Amino acid sequence: MEKFAGDVKVDNSWVIRLENRIVQKTIRFVPRWLETYHLTMMTIVWSLGVIFFGFLAVSDIRWLWTSSLMIFLQYVTDLYDGKVGKHRKTGLIKWGYYMDHFLDFVFLSCIFAGYYFFLPAEASIYLFGLMAVCAGFMVNSFLSFAATNKFKIEFLSMGPTQARFGMIAANTLFIFAGVEAPAKFIPIAFFISVAVLAIVVFSTQKEIWALDMEEKERRL
């Protein structure tokens, strides 16, 4: 039986190498009482936070600073949760795989829900489309993992880390430039993301097709 590889993420970007070096040097500072599953479940708190502060941003856009803080804190806890389990040999590999990525989807959905409160109504349809495309990237990762036993989270040198900091950058733009002008770029972001997803799906199916053909040849 092939070994479960859900705890090994395939990401060759420079970001993941930098993150790994940072974690190696700092993981000993994580308090002993803070276990891997605590870090995973904290995403629930950050998810509620981005919705709440998105709602408050309707009356004062500066609340997006706190929304950005929620995104950063989710990045930190997500960065350390699995690595703390491996470091202490207390990890729950399959539970961690399931809950970590399920809660990643919950957090992503809550970010878009928070944006829905304060963005112009005409941007809503594209906002929903962007959420669907982001979910498409996640579905592609999970289906590809089921077919290849390689859990790939990076596409065209872009991954979850870049997406999070992109959202923080968007929040900062909304704070300093207002909502109306930057919101006009949301349709462009949607169509670009659709094109990138199409490229990723084409590349993924091509890889899986090749695996199927290799398997057929072995059976002949």
**pLDDT tens, N- to C-terminus, the chain (220 residues):** 556 666 666 666 668 888 888 988 999 898 989 899 999 999 999 999 999 999 999 999 999 999 999 999 999 999 998 888 888 888 788 898 999 999 999 999 999 999 999 999 888 899 999 999 999 999 999 999 989 888 887 777 778 888 899 999 999 999 999 998 888 999 999 999 999 999 999 999 999 999 999 988 888 7
Residue 54 confidence (pLDDT)? 96
Which class for 206: exposed (0-12), middle (13-18), buried (19 or more C-beta within 10 A)?
A: exposed
Residue 109 confidence (pLDDT)? 95
Residue 195 confidence (pLDDT)? 96
DSSP code string of 146-193: HHHS-EE--BTTB-HHHHHHHHHHHHHHHHHH-SHHHHTTHHHHHHHH
CATH classification code of 9-219: 1.20.120.1760
User: Residue ranges of the domains in the chain?
Assistant: 9-219
Grouping H, G, I as helix, E, B as strand and the rest as coil, residue 178 is coil
